[in-house]
Structure 1
Amino acid sequence: MTQRLNYAQRSPEFFRKISELSMALKDSVIEQKIRDLVNLRASQINGCAFCVDMHVKEARIHGESELRLHHVAIWRESNLFIPRERAALAWTEALTRMPEGGIPDELYERVRGQLSEKEISDLTFSIMTINAWNRVSVAFKSVPGSADKLYGLDKAGLD
């Protein structure tokens, strides 16, 4: 795959702003483990090779197990995820796919049973942000692994 253009160079002011939002989300009330799962699941749904590659490596660096990473795509059938993670993954899928008619009240209530309003709000901003990254990376064909050294992802030991 060859990258179409370098969006960070062509639109540095917007790249900087979305990067700042991404960095700010590291201070959200949502724990890193869930943020890793959410980033991976949204990237899988959106078919973003660059982001799937990146978020698998980040999750491994953060201590996530290989098996759970394989199970993210089948989380509904897997017994490896706790209810809180399942709620976050369901919310991620709904917001990423954005069903016609909006997000069902039943889903919101199910998520609210596992997450506080602050957590749901922070999670929603996280999902919104990964979807933005996915769209720019897919549009311009960002090459998986091309930023590993820049982001310290070479430490994951996954080649």
Structure 2
Amino acid sequence: MTQRLNYIQQSPELFKKFLEFSNRMKEAAIEHSIVDLVQIRASQMNGCAFCVDMHVKEAKLHGERELRLHHVAIWRESTLFAPRERAALAWTEVLTRIPEAGVPDDLYERVRTQFSEKELSDLTFEVMAINGWNRANVAFRTVPGSSDKVFGLDKAGLQ
């Protein structure tokens, strides 16, 4: 894969603002383990190799088990995810590929049983953020692993 252009260099101020927005997510009401799953699943769905690579390594550094990382793509069939994680993954999927009829009421109600209104709002912003990053990195073909040293992801021990 060859990167098409470096959007960070071309639009440094916009990049900086979007990065600030994304970094604010660290203050959100959602636990890091769920954020990791959300970032991985949206990135898988969007075909963002750079982001899947990055977020799998981050999750590993955060202590996520390798088998669960492999099961994110098959989370519905897997027995490794708790109801709250399943709700977050379902919310991620519906917001990543919004159906023509919108978000179904039954899904919203199911997710609301697992998250407070504040948590659901924060989760929605997290999905928005990762989808934005996915779009930029897919559009410009950012090379997976190309920022590992910058982000300390080389410490994940995944090659």
TM-score for both structures, normalised by structure 2:
0.99
Question: Residue 7 of structure 1 corresponds to which residue in structure 2?
Answer: 7
The aligned runs of 1:1-159 (5 Å cut-off) are 1-159=1-159
- 3-state SS of paired residue (1:26): helix
> Deviation string for 1:7-51 (max 9, x for gaps)?
000001110011001110011000000000000000000000000
% identical equivalent positions = 72
- In structure 1, what is the Cα distance between the partners aligned to 2:150 and 2:18? 17
Stretches of structure 1 lacking an aligned partner (at least 5 in a row):
none
Give the superposition deviation at 1:101: 1.1
What SS is found at the alignment partner of 1:99? coil
Amino acid at match of 1:128: M
Structure 2 spans left out of the alignment, 5+ residues = none
What is the RMSD of the two structures over their aligned residues, measured on CA atoms?
0.4
2-structure distance, mates of 1:57, 1:22: 18
The TM-score with structure 1 as length reference comes to 0.99
Q: Deviations over 1:105-147 (max 9, x none)?
A: 1100000000000000000000000000000000000000000
